[in-house]
Amino acid sequence: MTATALALVLCAAVLHAAWNALAKRGRDPIAFLWLASMVAAPVLLPWGARELFVSGLPLRAVPFVVGTVVLHAIYFYTLGRAYGTGAYSVVYPIARGLGVALVPIVAWTLLDERLSPLGIAGIVLVIIGVVVLHRVGGRRVVVSTTALGSASVWAVLTGLTIASYSVLDKVGVTRLHPVPYMLLMETGCVLAFTPFMLGRLGAARAEWTANRWTIMATGVMSAAGYTLVLFAFQLSKAGYVVASRELSIVLSALIGSLLLGEGRLPPRLAAACIVLAGVACVALAR
């Protein structure tokens, strides 16, 4: 993996862990994420509109833009439901870890991306670390098996959408510049969610009143973070990018334990070190 791609992904990981922690603290996570997308689109507009004006929207990119809008709309819904029923430190590792496991398989099947033995070992270490993080993460913070089951189901669905849009976007950014691609995705998500949110405008207004600054920060970080990932997709294999991005799971262990009061810091840090070892292997792989 190139140093530039790794730097982009590590910056994206920090941003991703941070905005997910903010989203978890929202009163209505789905309304929170919808409003954050409404912030993200204007942030991307100047650069994205310029790129579209200069290069246009190639017809061969349209199916990928439509596909990523659909998948990201599903992602934001399932993520919102997961955070509405489960702890940050339970939901986040499951959702992100499933993407690490599935993306290399799908990318090998559809994109013929061949991973080196060191890269495969790194991805396996990341998956092991994520599983351990999940096993030590939910024991203090989930109050019932029903809540745990519901959160886990929504987290798994979130992970499936992550794997799907990651492979799709890896190809999509070869057909359209990452910034207008991201701009169209965020705008499309807002439009796709609007009919669903029409019956929940009261909740959205209350969410904005209570958390407007947090929502704005989330929108900016979300837009910036995934745009960096799209640039990294242009430089490295999808499996390596997604695995390296899971440094955010290490950060989620710290955020969940220290800032959200979810406890169990020592075992989480031990599991996070396994993830870090995997990321190091991926960074050295070719």
Residues 69 and 184 sit within 8 Å (Cβ to Cβ): yes
Least confident of 5-9, 214-218, 279-283: 279-283
Going by pLDDT thresholds of 50, 70 and 90, the confidence category of residue 69 is: very high
Phi, psi at 69, each rounded to 5°: -65, -50
Model pLDDT, residue 79: 86
Going by pLDDT thresholds of 50, 70 and 90, the confidence category of residue 111 is: confident
Model pLDDT, residue 144: 45
Model pLDDT, residue 147: 47
pTM assigned to the model: 0.83
Residue 68 vs residue 255, higher pLDDT = 68
153-189 pLDDT per residue, tens: 888 899 899 989 999 999 999 999 999 999 999 999 9
Q: What percent of the chain has pLDDT over 90?
A: 37
Least confident of 68-82, 136-150, 250-264: 136-150
Please determine, for residue 260, whether its predicted confidence score (pLDDT) is greater than 70: no
**Per-residue DSSP letters for the chain?**
--HHHHHHHHHHHHHHHHHHHHHHTSSSHHHHHHHHHHHHHHHHHHHHHHHHHHH---GGGHHHHHHHHHHHHHHHHHHHHHHHHS-HHHHHHHHHHHHHHHHHHHHHHHH--PPPHHHHHHHHHHHHHHHHHHHHHSTTT---HHHHHHHHHHHHHHHHHHHHHHHHHHHHTTTS-HHHHHHHHHHHHHHHHHHHHGGGHHHHHHHHHHHHHHHHHHHHHHHHHHHHHHHHHTTS-HHHHHHHHTHHHHHHHHIIIIIS----HHHHHHHHHHHHHHHHHHHH--
Average pLDDT value over all residues in the chain? 84
Residue 226 vs residue 129, higher pLDDT = 226
